[in-house]
Amino acid sequence: MDSRIKSRGLVESKLMYSIRSLTVMVGSLLFVVPSVVAQRSPQIEVDYASFAYDERESLVELYMALEASSLTYEAQGSGYSIAIPFHLSLIRSSADANRDLAEDRPVWVQEDELRFFVPDTSSIFEGRVFLRQTRFTVLPGKYELQVDLLITEQEVIQSRRDLIIPDYSQRKNCLLSDIILASSIADSDDNEDPHYKNRLSVIPNTNQLYGVDSAQLFYYVEAYNTACAASDSGEYTVLAYVAEASSLVRVPGLEERSERNARQTDVLVGSFDLSDLRSGTYFLHVEIPSSTNETVVEESRKFFVFNPSLNTLQSDVITGDEKFEISSYATMTEEEIERGLKYIQVIANEREFRQIRRVQDLDERRRLLMDFWEVRDPTPGAEGNEFRDEFYRLLTYANERYSAQRVEGWETDRGNTLLRYGRPTNIESNMYERGRKPYEIWKYNNIPGEGQAEFIFADLDGFGDFELIHSTVAGERKLPDWPQRISDRY
């Protein structure tokens, strides 16, 4: 599989960006008639990426993609056009510690029109998009973005999403920007191009879908303060690879390691050919390891592959093979198997969870446990299983630290979080803060598909059982006003 990483050195990121609102049109249209009416409601996708800018603020790129086939066009002169008023507003999240609770005004607002014109309507089909890109600077923090599109006086399309903007201003540690997953990246000298940055034209893929007719994944990421990971030769290492979402197992052939000269700011560009990947969910990981191969900093982005020509069906029936007969799983007692299956439900995917509940035969349950760990083995064929071993180390740690009221530590909220997401980068323990119940803030520099993340645990009843009351991770418990919830006056 083809992959490559380019390196470009910069003096200051902000000098290579044009901070303005820009629009690009991708695609053209479908029928040659006085007006072209969409058959369904307009579809919009919103994505963003953040980068270093100056000592106070970070740069944010906001991407809005509209499906061309979901829009209604009017004849205008020699072609067809559409104009959609929109309103963007960014406010501090209620979960942001720096937010002034009395301040509800947006920190950034933009009002404009999405205007697109095409000479004919011959090429609009599913998948064609119009893309709007906007750049602005903002203080680091947690924000809520609202997008309002005025389709008609009676129809307003709204989209909301959380934005976490890191602080890139410190110069001591290695940092990575957000990753842009792109549909194309090409060399460019056209600084009027709305997608131009650092002598490149980067067209973001807002839905992160690859496969048929778009099998090449491109990515763009900036690395800062890379000298912190440099060897004596003045070079540092970058590792980029694709991993399965369900198991985090690296995909063979989709990995690139390169050495490059340490710079204050470095631009990393690469691509992977995904044409041989089965349909499914994956992560692109970019990391900078130390000279001892310990991860210094890492970023990841989730993406999706749709390859219907490949066999994507995975059987729900668990079958044995010769490896099972000679494995330790074949002789495990029923008690050992049930305990092992109980543990793995914390990190099992939906298909595996269904199998655990459905399969009753003891030998099949033994095979199920073996298969579960085998697909997560980062070094198949080698002795041991590092992923499984780390899981049980975390489980033991959770039992030693978090057991409470006859509940084993791994079953508590903190224990579950530890098993799902690994060891936090930092834990802020606040056991005796005046006016508040005991609480902990777990911070992660990077959770695959989420980036920086936080978990808030609090001992609400005073018995030492710390409940998860809020997290920035999608699908986890949300309580934006958690500071009020842990107040003694609540």
282-341 pLDDT, tens digit each:
899 999 999 888 889 999 998 888 887 774 334 444 344 567 777 888 888 999 999 999
Reported residue count of the chain is 490
Res 11: pLDDT: 36
> 329, 366, 371: which is closest to 351 by C-alpha?
371
Q: Which residues pair with 82 in a beta bridge?
A: 116
Per-residue pLDDT averaged across 465-484, rounded?
91
Residue matched to tokens 């224990």: 415
Average per-residue pLDDT in the chain? Answer: 83
Res 1: pLDDT: 44
Res 216: pLDDT: 96
Contact 21, 135 (CB under 8 A): yes
For residue 42, the number of C-alpha atoms closer than 13 Å in the C-beta half-sphere is 25
Question: Bigger pLDDT: 429 or 21?
Answer: 429
Predicted confidence (pLDDT) at residue 8 exceeds the cutoff of 60: no
Per-residue pLDDT averaged across 402-428, rounded?
91
Res 123: pLDDT: 58
SS3 state at 331? helix
For residue 398, the number of C-alpha atoms closer than 13 Å in the C-beta half-sphere is 27
Q: Which tokens in the block code for residue 294?
A: 């310990």
Residue matched to tokens 């985090």: 248
CA distances from 396 to 135, 400, 411, 429, 442 (A): 47, 6, 12, 21, 19
Per-residue pLDDT averaged across 76-99, rounded?
81
Predicted confidence (pLDDT) at residue 388 exceeds the cutoff of 60: yes
Res 385: pLDDT: 87
> 101, 113, 42: which is closest to 71 by C-alpha?
42
Q: Which tokens in the block code for residue 30?
A: 């479908």
The span from the CA of 259 to the CA of 272, in Å, is 18
SS3 state at 355? helix
Per-residue pLDDT averaged across 345-356, rounded?
89
pLDDT in tens, 324-334: 777 888 888 99
pLDDT in tens, 115-144: 887 777 675 665 678 899 999 999 999 899
Contacts of 326 (CB under 8 A, 6+ apart): none
The span from the CA of 181 to the CA of 210, in Å, is 10
Res 77: pLDDT: 81
Q: Which tokens in the block code for residue 459?
A: 């001992």
Contact 379, 248 (CB under 8 A): no
Res 172: pLDDT: 81
pLDDT band at 12 (very low <50, low <70, confident <90, very high): very low
Contact 121, 29 (CB under 8 A): yes
Contact 181, 146 (CB under 8 A): no
Res 211: pLDDT: 87
Predicted confidence (pLDDT) at residue 478 exceeds the cutoff of 70: yes
Q: Which tokens in the block code for residue 360?
A: 């009753």
CATH code for the domain defined by 3-306: 2.60.40.10
Question: Bigger pLDDT: 153 or 411?
Answer: 411
Predicted confidence (pLDDT) at residue 380 exceeds the cutoff of 60: yes
Q: Tell me how far apart the terminal alpha carbons of the chain are, to the nearest angstrom.
A: 58
Q: Which tokens in the block code for residue 247?
A: 């198991």
SS3 state at 159? strand
The span from the CA of 459 to the CA of 453, in Å, is 21
Neighbours of 20 (CB within 10 A): 9
The span from the CA of 403 to the CA of 396, in Å, is 11
pLDDT in tens, 27-78: 333 333 344 545 456 778 899 999 999 999 999 999 998 887 777 778 888 8
DSSP letters of 29-44? ----SSEE--SS---E
Domain boundaries, the chain: 3-306, 322-374, 406-485
Phi, psi (deg, nearest 5) at residue 8: -135, 135
Res 489: pLDDT: 77
Contacts of 28 (CB under 8 A, 6+ apart): 68, 118, 119, 120, 121, 122, 123, 124, 128
Contacts of 45 (CB under 8 A, 6+ apart): 64, 65, 206, 207
CA distances from 342 to 61, 119, 346 (A): 43, 61, 8
Contact 176, 224 (CB under 8 A): yes
Res 51: pLDDT: 97
Res 322: pLDDT: 60
Predicted confidence (pLDDT) at residue 342 exceeds the cutoff of 90: yes
Phi, psi (deg, nearest 5) at residue 376: -100, 5
Strand 156-165 with 141-150, pairing: antiparallel
Q: Is the pTM of this model over 0.75?
A: no
Residue matched to tokens 């070094």: 379
Res 220: pLDDT: 98
Task: Determine the Cα angle at 487 with ends 483 and 488, to 5°.
Answer: 170
Contact 183, 305 (CB under 8 A): no
Phi, psi (deg, nearest 5) at residue 381: 95, -25
Q: At what angle do helices 413-421 and 386-402 cross, to 10 degrees?
A: 160
CA distances from 236 to 229, 232, 260, 285, 462 (A): 6, 9, 6, 17, 48
Q: Which residues pair with 60 in a beta bridge?
A: 50, 136
Contact 412, 466 (CB under 8 A): yes
Per-residue pLDDT averaged across 383-407, rounded?
88
Per-residue pLDDT averaged across 180-201, rounded?
94
Per-residue pLDDT averaged across 168-178, rounded?
90
Contacts of 341 (CB under 8 A, 6+ apart): 356, 365, 368, 369
